[in-house]
Structure 1
Protein backbone atom coordinates (compact mmCIF):
# COMPACT_ATOMS: atom_id res chain seq x y z
CA UNK A 1 0.00 0.00 0.00
CA UNK A 2 1.45 3.37 -1.06
CA UNK A 3 0.53 6.34 1.14
CA UNK A 4 1.23 9.97 0.30
CA UNK A 5 2.49 11.72 3.43
CA UNK A 6 2.39 15.51 3.72
CA UNK A 7 4.76 16.45 6.57
CA UNK A 8 4.30 20.00 7.84
CA UNK A 9 6.66 21.65 10.27
CA UNK A 10 4.60 23.27 13.04
CA UNK A 11 4.22 27.05 13.18
CA UNK A 12 6.91 29.19 14.79
CA UNK A 13 7.05 29.14 18.58
CA UNK A 14 8.73 31.50 21.03
CA UNK A 15 11.55 28.96 21.55
CA UNK A 16 12.07 28.95 17.77
CA UNK A 17 12.17 32.74 17.82
CA UNK A 18 14.66 32.77 20.70
CA UNK A 19 16.82 30.03 19.09
CA UNK A 20 16.34 27.53 21.92
CA UNK A 21 16.18 23.76 21.75
CA UNK A 22 12.54 22.72 22.09
CA UNK A 23 12.28 18.95 21.71
CA UNK A 24 9.69 17.53 24.10
CA UNK A 25 9.21 20.86 25.89
CA UNK A 26 6.59 23.23 24.57
CA UNK A 27 6.35 26.96 24.06
CA UNK A 28 3.37 28.82 22.56
CA UNK A 29 3.03 29.73 18.91
CA UNK A 30 3.95 33.29 18.05
CA UNK A 31 1.67 35.38 15.86
CA UNK A 32 3.92 34.40 12.97
CA UNK A 33 3.41 30.78 14.04
CA UNK A 34 -0.36 31.06 13.61
CA UNK A 35 0.24 32.63 10.21
CA UNK A 36 2.57 29.73 9.32
CA UNK A 37 -0.22 27.27 10.14
CA UNK A 38 -2.78 29.15 8.07
CA UNK A 39 -0.36 29.38 5.15
CA UNK A 40 0.20 25.61 5.24
CA UNK A 41 -3.56 25.14 5.44
CA UNK A 42 -4.08 27.20 2.30
CA UNK A 43 -1.33 25.25 0.52
CA UNK A 44 -3.01 21.93 1.37
CA UNK A 45 -6.67 23.02 1.25
CA UNK A 46 -7.45 20.92 -1.84
CA UNK A 47 -5.93 17.68 -0.49
CA UNK A 48 -8.47 15.15 0.80
CA UNK A 49 -6.81 13.66 3.88
CA UNK A 50 -7.79 10.15 4.91
CA UNK A 51 -5.94 10.50 8.23
CA UNK A 52 -4.07 13.11 10.27
CA UNK A 53 -1.33 12.66 12.88
CA UNK A 54 0.69 14.94 15.16
CA UNK A 55 2.82 14.80 18.27
CA UNK A 56 1.19 15.34 21.64
CA UNK A 57 2.47 18.92 21.87
CA UNK A 58 0.23 21.96 21.63
CA UNK A 59 2.34 23.55 18.89
CA UNK A 60 1.76 20.50 16.67
CA UNK A 61 -1.90 20.10 17.60
CA UNK A 62 -2.80 23.75 16.95
CA UNK A 63 -1.00 23.62 13.61
CA UNK A 64 -2.86 20.42 12.67
CA UNK A 65 -6.31 21.74 13.61
CA UNK A 66 -5.65 24.99 11.73
CA UNK A 67 -4.69 23.09 8.57
CA UNK A 68 -7.74 20.83 8.78
CA UNK A 69 -10.03 23.82 9.36
CA UNK A 70 -8.69 25.44 6.18
CA UNK A 71 -9.34 22.28 4.16
CA UNK A 72 -12.08 22.46 1.50
CA UNK A 73 -11.55 19.08 -0.18
CA UNK A 74 -14.13 17.27 1.96
CA UNK A 75 -16.92 18.09 4.36
CA UNK A 76 -15.80 15.83 7.19
CA UNK A 77 -12.17 15.96 8.29
CA UNK A 78 -10.39 12.94 9.79
CA UNK A 79 -10.00 12.63 13.54
CA UNK A 80 -6.58 13.90 14.57
CA UNK A 81 -4.35 11.22 16.15
CA UNK A 82 -1.98 12.66 18.77
CA UNK A 83 0.90 10.41 19.79
CA UNK A 84 4.30 10.78 21.45
CA UNK A 85 5.97 8.80 18.67
CA UNK A 86 5.65 11.88 16.44
CA UNK A 87 7.49 14.14 18.89
CA UNK A 88 10.69 16.01 18.12
CA UNK A 89 14.05 14.64 19.24
CA UNK A 90 14.37 14.69 23.04
CA UNK A 91 17.24 16.91 24.19
CA UNK A 92 17.16 15.91 27.87
CA UNK A 93 19.13 18.28 30.11
CA UNK A 94 19.52 20.69 27.18
CA UNK A 95 15.77 21.24 26.65
CA UNK A 96 15.10 24.98 26.48
CA UNK A 97 18.77 25.95 26.32
CA UNK A 98 20.32 28.25 23.75
CA UNK A 99 21.02 26.15 20.65
CA UNK A 100 24.55 27.39 20.05
CA UNK A 101 25.55 26.75 23.67
CA UNK A 102 23.99 23.27 23.69
CA UNK A 103 25.67 22.16 20.46
CA UNK A 104 29.00 23.57 21.66
CA UNK A 105 28.68 21.46 24.83
CA UNK A 106 27.93 18.40 22.71
CA UNK A 107 30.53 18.89 20.00
CA UNK A 108 33.46 20.74 21.55
CA UNK A 109 34.88 17.62 23.31
CA UNK A 110 35.09 16.07 19.83
CA UNK A 111 36.64 19.12 18.18
CA UNK A 112 33.39 20.28 16.55
CA UNK A 113 31.91 23.34 18.23
CA UNK A 114 28.60 23.69 16.38
CA UNK A 115 25.71 21.61 15.05
CA UNK A 116 26.86 22.01 11.44
CA UNK A 117 30.44 21.13 12.36
CA UNK A 118 29.30 17.90 14.04
CA UNK A 119 27.26 16.95 10.98
CA UNK A 120 30.09 17.75 8.57
CA UNK A 121 32.75 15.83 10.51
CA UNK A 122 30.81 12.96 12.08
CA UNK A 123 27.36 12.75 10.45
CA UNK A 124 23.88 13.55 11.71
CA UNK A 125 23.65 10.54 14.04
CA UNK A 126 26.54 11.98 16.05
CA UNK A 127 24.53 15.10 16.93
CA UNK A 128 22.19 12.89 18.94
CA UNK A 129 24.84 10.62 20.41
CA UNK A 130 27.17 13.49 21.38
CA UNK A 131 24.31 15.38 23.06
CA UNK A 132 23.35 12.31 25.08
CA UNK A 133 27.01 11.92 26.09
CA UNK A 134 27.18 15.58 27.18
CA UNK A 135 23.88 15.39 29.10
CA UNK A 136 24.84 14.93 32.79
CA UNK A 137 21.70 12.80 33.24
CA UNK A 138 22.06 11.04 29.86
CA UNK A 139 18.33 11.55 29.29
CA UNK A 140 18.73 12.97 25.77
CA UNK A 141 17.84 10.49 23.04
CA UNK A 142 20.66 8.65 21.31
CA UNK A 143 20.38 8.08 17.57
CA UNK A 144 19.25 4.48 18.19
CA UNK A 145 16.64 5.51 20.77
CA UNK A 146 15.38 8.28 18.51
CA UNK A 147 14.89 6.07 15.45
CA UNK A 148 13.28 3.28 17.47
CA UNK A 149 10.57 5.78 18.47
CA UNK A 150 10.20 7.40 15.04
CA UNK A 151 9.93 4.04 13.26
CA UNK A 152 7.09 3.15 15.62
CA UNK A 153 5.40 6.35 14.42
CA UNK A 154 5.62 5.08 10.84
CA UNK A 155 4.09 1.80 12.04
CA UNK A 156 1.19 3.68 13.63
CA UNK A 157 0.48 5.29 10.26
CA UNK A 158 0.84 2.00 8.36
CA UNK A 159 -1.65 0.25 10.65
CA UNK A 160 -4.30 2.97 10.70
CA UNK A 161 -7.60 1.26 9.78
CA UNK A 162 -8.95 4.13 7.64
CA UNK A 163 -6.05 4.16 5.19
CA UNK A 164 -6.09 2.66 1.71
CA UNK A 165 -3.96 2.62 -1.44
CA UNK A 166 -2.99 6.14 -2.60
CA UNK A 167 -4.45 7.79 0.51
CA UNK A 168 -3.18 11.23 1.50
CA UNK A 169 -2.02 11.63 5.10
CA UNK A 170 -1.30 14.80 7.09
CA UNK A 171 1.56 14.57 9.59
CA UNK A 172 2.62 17.56 11.69
CA UNK A 173 6.34 17.24 12.24
CA UNK A 174 9.33 19.10 13.70
CA UNK A 175 12.50 20.71 12.39
CA UNK A 176 15.18 18.23 13.42
CA UNK A 177 12.88 15.30 12.72
CA UNK A 178 12.37 16.50 9.15
CA UNK A 179 16.13 16.92 8.76
CA UNK A 180 16.71 13.44 10.19
CA UNK A 181 14.22 11.92 7.75
CA UNK A 182 15.85 13.75 4.84
CA UNK A 183 19.37 12.67 5.83
CA UNK A 184 18.24 9.05 6.08
CA UNK A 185 15.99 8.74 3.04
CA UNK A 186 16.72 11.55 0.57
CA UNK A 187 18.76 10.89 -2.57
CA UNK A 188 21.58 13.23 -3.53
CA UNK A 189 20.62 16.68 -4.76
CA UNK A 190 18.92 18.16 -1.70
CA UNK A 191 20.61 21.00 0.18
CA UNK A 192 20.25 19.80 3.77
CA UNK A 193 22.12 22.77 5.16
CA UNK A 194 18.75 24.47 4.58
CA UNK A 195 16.54 23.85 7.60
CA UNK A 196 12.83 23.30 6.95
CA UNK A 197 10.83 26.47 7.54
CA UNK A 198 7.99 26.66 10.02
CA UNK A 199 4.81 25.85 8.11
CA UNK A 200 6.70 24.27 5.20
CA UNK A 201 5.52 21.06 3.54
CA UNK A 202 7.70 18.03 2.82
CA UNK A 203 6.11 15.20 0.83
CA UNK A 204 6.97 11.50 1.08
CA UNK A 205 5.62 8.35 -0.50
CA UNK A 206 5.44 5.58 2.09
CA UNK A 207 5.21 1.94 0.94
CA UNK A 208 3.79 0.09 3.93
CA UNK A 209 4.74 -3.32 2.47
CA UNK A 210 8.48 -2.61 2.66
CA UNK A 211 11.02 -2.57 5.45
CA UNK A 212 11.49 1.00 6.64
CA UNK A 213 14.81 1.56 4.83
CA UNK A 214 13.12 0.80 1.49
CA UNK A 215 9.71 2.21 2.34
CA UNK A 216 10.22 5.98 2.09
CA UNK A 217 10.67 7.98 -1.12
CA UNK A 218 11.11 11.76 -0.98
CA UNK A 219 8.80 13.68 -3.32
CA UNK A 220 9.62 17.24 -2.25
CA UNK A 221 11.31 19.09 0.62
CA UNK A 222 10.63 22.34 2.45
CA UNK A 223 8.00 23.67 0.05
Structure 2
Protein backbone atom coordinates (compact mmCIF):
# COMPACT_ATOMS: atom_id res chain seq x y z
CA UNK A 1 0.00 0.00 0.00
CA UNK A 2 1.19 3.49 -0.87
CA UNK A 3 0.91 6.60 1.32
CA UNK A 4 0.26 10.21 0.33
CA UNK A 5 0.96 12.96 2.86
CA UNK A 6 -1.05 15.98 1.72
CA UNK A 7 -0.07 19.07 3.72
CA UNK A 8 -1.57 22.54 3.99
CA UNK A 9 1.10 25.26 3.74
CA UNK A 10 2.27 27.27 6.74
CA UNK A 11 0.56 30.44 7.94
CA UNK A 12 0.84 33.46 5.65
CA UNK A 13 0.47 37.22 5.96
CA UNK A 14 -2.94 36.99 4.24
CA UNK A 15 -4.07 34.26 6.67
CA UNK A 16 -3.31 36.62 9.57
CA UNK A 17 -4.98 39.55 7.79
CA UNK A 18 -8.05 37.39 6.95
CA UNK A 19 -7.69 37.96 3.21
CA UNK A 20 -8.76 35.59 0.44
CA UNK A 21 -5.60 34.16 -1.18
CA UNK A 22 -6.55 31.73 -3.90
CA UNK A 23 -4.16 32.13 -6.83
CA UNK A 24 -2.63 35.35 -5.46
CA UNK A 25 0.09 34.92 -2.90
CA UNK A 26 1.57 36.25 0.31
CA UNK A 27 4.68 35.23 2.25
CA UNK A 28 4.89 32.89 5.21
CA UNK A 29 4.81 34.62 8.57
CA UNK A 30 7.37 33.82 11.27
CA UNK A 31 4.75 31.45 12.70
CA UNK A 32 4.31 29.88 9.24
CA UNK A 33 8.07 29.29 9.01
CA UNK A 34 8.00 27.70 12.48
CA UNK A 35 5.07 25.48 11.42
CA UNK A 36 7.01 24.28 8.36
CA UNK A 37 10.09 23.59 10.51
CA UNK A 38 7.95 21.51 12.90
CA UNK A 39 6.63 19.60 9.88
CA UNK A 40 10.23 18.93 8.90
CA UNK A 41 10.70 17.20 12.25
CA UNK A 42 7.58 15.10 11.66
CA UNK A 43 8.79 13.95 8.24
CA UNK A 44 12.44 13.45 9.25
CA UNK A 45 12.10 9.68 9.72
CA UNK A 46 9.50 9.04 7.01
CA UNK A 47 11.18 7.56 3.91
CA UNK A 48 9.72 9.96 1.35
CA UNK A 49 10.54 9.02 -2.24
CA UNK A 50 8.87 11.91 -4.10
CA UNK A 51 7.64 15.41 -3.25
CA UNK A 52 5.31 17.86 -5.01
CA UNK A 53 4.12 21.39 -4.36
CA UNK A 54 1.60 23.86 -5.65
CA UNK A 55 3.35 26.54 -7.69
CA UNK A 56 2.32 29.16 -5.11
CA UNK A 57 5.22 30.69 -3.18
CA UNK A 58 3.67 29.86 0.20
CA UNK A 59 3.62 26.15 -0.67
CA UNK A 60 7.10 26.11 -2.23
CA UNK A 61 8.52 27.86 0.85
CA UNK A 62 6.74 25.36 3.11
CA UNK A 63 7.97 22.27 1.25
CA UNK A 64 11.54 23.61 1.06
CA UNK A 65 11.55 24.06 4.85
CA UNK A 66 10.06 20.59 5.34
CA UNK A 67 12.53 18.85 3.03
CA UNK A 68 15.58 20.86 4.10
CA UNK A 69 17.42 19.80 0.90
CA UNK A 70 16.95 16.06 1.50
CA UNK A 71 14.85 15.56 -1.64
CA UNK A 72 14.04 17.53 -4.79
CA UNK A 73 10.41 18.43 -5.42
CA UNK A 74 8.24 19.16 -8.45
CA UNK A 75 5.95 22.20 -8.74
CA UNK A 76 2.51 21.50 -10.19
CA UNK A 77 -0.17 24.04 -11.08
CA UNK A 78 -2.83 21.35 -10.53
CA UNK A 79 -2.11 21.54 -6.77
CA UNK A 80 -2.99 25.26 -6.62
CA UNK A 81 -5.78 26.70 -4.50
CA UNK A 82 -9.21 27.49 -5.91
CA UNK A 83 -9.21 30.60 -8.09
CA UNK A 84 -11.48 33.18 -6.44
CA UNK A 85 -11.53 35.63 -9.35
CA UNK A 86 -11.94 39.30 -8.41
CA UNK A 87 -12.29 38.31 -4.73
CA UNK A 88 -8.56 37.50 -4.54
CA UNK A 89 -6.87 39.71 -1.94
CA UNK A 90 -10.20 40.89 -0.52
CA UNK A 91 -11.54 40.34 3.00
CA UNK A 92 -12.59 36.81 3.96
CA UNK A 93 -15.82 38.43 5.22
CA UNK A 94 -16.92 38.51 1.56
CA UNK A 95 -16.60 34.72 1.21
CA UNK A 96 -19.67 32.48 1.11
CA UNK A 97 -20.61 31.06 4.50
CA UNK A 98 -21.00 27.33 3.70
CA UNK A 99 -19.09 24.82 1.54
CA UNK A 100 -22.23 24.40 -0.61
CA UNK A 101 -22.23 28.16 -1.32
CA UNK A 102 -18.59 27.92 -2.49
CA UNK A 103 -19.45 25.44 -5.26
CA UNK A 104 -20.31 28.01 -7.94
CA UNK A 105 -20.21 31.40 -6.18
CA UNK A 106 -16.96 32.59 -7.78
CA UNK A 107 -17.73 31.56 -11.38
CA UNK A 108 -19.45 34.85 -12.39
CA UNK A 109 -16.45 36.75 -10.98
CA UNK A 110 -13.75 35.03 -13.03
CA UNK A 111 -13.13 32.31 -10.46
CA UNK A 112 -13.33 28.55 -10.38
CA UNK A 113 -15.95 26.14 -9.04
CA UNK A 114 -15.07 24.01 -6.04
CA UNK A 115 -16.02 20.90 -8.03
CA UNK A 116 -13.43 21.82 -10.68
CA UNK A 117 -10.80 22.15 -7.92
CA UNK A 118 -11.71 18.77 -6.44
CA UNK A 119 -11.60 17.06 -9.83
CA UNK A 120 -8.25 18.61 -10.77
CA UNK A 121 -6.76 17.59 -7.41
CA UNK A 122 -8.13 14.05 -7.73
CA UNK A 123 -6.76 13.66 -11.26
CA UNK A 124 -3.37 15.12 -10.32
CA UNK A 125 -2.88 13.09 -7.15
CA UNK A 126 -4.15 9.87 -8.75
CA UNK A 127 -1.66 10.35 -11.60
CA UNK A 128 1.15 10.94 -9.10
CA UNK A 129 0.34 7.96 -6.87
CA UNK A 130 -0.23 5.60 -9.81
CA UNK A 131 3.45 5.80 -10.76
CA UNK A 132 5.20 2.54 -9.86
CA UNK A 133 8.09 4.18 -7.98
CA UNK A 134 5.87 6.44 -5.83
CA UNK A 135 5.34 4.81 -2.42
CA UNK A 136 5.65 7.57 0.22
CA UNK A 137 4.80 10.91 -1.33
CA UNK A 138 4.64 14.41 0.15
CA UNK A 139 2.45 17.05 -1.53
CA UNK A 140 1.97 20.60 -0.22
CA UNK A 141 -1.20 22.41 -1.21
CA UNK A 142 -3.92 24.67 0.21
CA UNK A 143 -6.90 24.52 2.55
CA UNK A 144 -9.61 24.73 -0.11
CA UNK A 145 -7.76 22.39 -2.46
CA UNK A 146 -7.27 19.82 0.34
CA UNK A 147 -10.93 20.14 1.37
CA UNK A 148 -12.22 19.73 -2.19
CA UNK A 149 -9.95 16.72 -2.76
CA UNK A 150 -11.37 15.09 0.37
CA UNK A 151 -14.88 15.99 -0.83
CA UNK A 152 -14.26 13.94 -3.99
CA UNK A 153 -13.61 10.89 -1.76
CA UNK A 154 -16.05 11.16 1.13
CA UNK A 155 -18.32 13.45 3.10
CA UNK A 156 -15.83 15.94 4.60
CA UNK A 157 -18.22 17.41 7.19
CA UNK A 158 -16.72 15.79 10.28
CA UNK A 159 -13.17 16.74 9.34
CA UNK A 160 -14.24 20.28 8.42
CA UNK A 161 -15.75 20.74 11.91
CA UNK A 162 -12.30 19.99 13.38
CA UNK A 163 -10.67 22.55 11.06
CA UNK A 164 -7.90 22.51 8.45
CA UNK A 165 -5.42 24.86 10.09
CA UNK A 166 -2.07 25.72 8.54
CA UNK A 167 0.31 22.77 8.73
CA UNK A 168 -2.42 20.11 8.83
CA UNK A 169 -1.31 16.75 7.39
CA UNK A 170 -3.84 14.53 5.61
CA UNK A 171 -2.56 10.96 5.43
CA UNK A 172 -4.10 8.91 2.60
CA UNK A 173 -3.54 5.30 1.68
CA UNK A 174 -3.59 4.60 -2.04
CA UNK A 175 -4.37 1.13 -3.34
CA UNK A 176 -5.61 -0.07 -6.74
CA UNK A 177 -6.34 3.47 -7.92
CA UNK A 178 -8.31 4.53 -4.84
CA UNK A 179 -7.55 6.88 -1.94
CA UNK A 180 -8.65 6.21 1.63
CA UNK A 181 -8.21 8.85 4.34
CA UNK A 182 -6.19 7.13 7.08
CA UNK A 183 -5.50 10.03 9.46
CA UNK A 184 -5.57 13.80 9.84
CA UNK A 185 -2.75 15.23 11.93
CA UNK A 186 -3.44 18.73 13.14
CA UNK A 187 -0.72 21.00 14.57
CA UNK A 188 -0.82 21.46 18.31
CA UNK A 189 -0.12 25.19 18.30
Task: Return the TM-score normalized by structure 1.
Answer: 0.75
Partner of 1:83: 76
Distance apart, 1:58 and its partner CA: 1.2
Distance apart, 1:35 and its partner CA: 0.3
- Gaps in structure 1 of 5+ consecutive residues: 70-75, 104-114
Give, in whole Å, the separation in 1 of the partners of 2:164 and 2:156. 17
Choose from 76, 98, 103 the match for 2:91.
98
Partner of 2:150: 182
Partner of 1:16: 15
Q: Is the 8 A contact 2:4 2:129 kept in 1?
A: no
Distance apart, 1:191 and its partner CA: 3.8
Taking the TM superposition and a 5 Å limit, the aligned residue runs for 1:31-180 are 31-69=30-68, 77-103=70-96, 115=97, 118-119=98-99, 123=100, 126-133=101-108, 135=109, 139-160=110-131, 162-163=133-134, 167-180=135-148
Closer, same or farther: CA 151–31 of 1 in aligned 2, 3 Å: same
Give, in whole Å, the separation in 2 of the partners of 1:30 and 1:146. 26
Q: Is the 8 A contact 2:53 2:59 kept in 1?
A: yes
Report the secondary structure of 2:158's partner residue: coil
Closer, same or farther: CA 222–182 of 1 in aligned 2, 3 Å: farther
What's the C-alpha RMSD, in Å, of the aligned pairs?
2.1
Distance apart, 1:189 and its partner CA: 8.2
Distance apart, 1:130 and its partner CA: 1.8
Q: Is the 8 A contact 2:13 2:28 kept in 1?
A: yes
Q: Is the 8 A contact 1:22 1:95 kept in 2?
A: yes
Runs of 4+ in 1 over 6 A off after TM superposition: none
Q: Higher Cα Rg: structure 1 or 2?
A: 1
Report the secondary structure of 1:193's partner residue: helix
Partner of 2:171: 203
- Gaps in structure 2 of 5+ consecutive residues: none
Give, in whole Å, the separation in 1 of the partners of 2:66 and 2:133. 19
Distance apart, 1:194 and its partner CA: 2.9
Distance apart, 1:90 and its partner CA: 0.9
Aligned residues: 186
Distance apart, 1:188 and its partner CA: 7.8
